[in-house]
Amino acid sequence: MAGIAYAILERTIVASEGRDSVMARAVGRDAKAQISVAVYVVAIALAFAHERVSRVLYAAVALAWFIPDRRIEALLGE
C-alpha cells in the first residue's frame, strides 16, 4: 500500500506548489505509482481466488519500488 500513500503524497505536494512548479514537472504523470495502484487492485481481487498469484503481485510491486526515481533529484539539483 506504499504506492497508494506515495501517490497521495505526490498529488498533495503538486497541488500545494502548483501545476507549473518544478515538482510538478519532475513527477509528471508518474507511471510507476499509477501502475502500482492498479496492480494492488488486481492483487486484492485475486486474493480471494488465487492467493499465490496475489502474493506474487504484491512482491512485484514492492520490488519495483526499490528502483530509485531520479526525476525529482535531477530537476531539483539544477
Q: What is the pLDDT at residue 10?
A: 82
Over the stretch 49-70, which tens digit does the pLDDT of each residue have? 999 999 999 999 989 888 877 7
pTM reported for the whole predicted model? 0.68
Range of the domain at 19: 2-76
Amino acid 51: pLDDT: 93
pLDDT of residue 31: 81
The per-residue pLDDT for 58 is 92
Q: What is the DSSP string of 2-66?
A: HHHHHHHHHHHHHHHH-TTSHHHHHHTT-HHHHHHHHHHHHHHHHTTT-HHHHHHHHHHHHHHTT
Number of domains in the chain: 1
Low-confidence ranges of the chain (pLDDT < 50): none
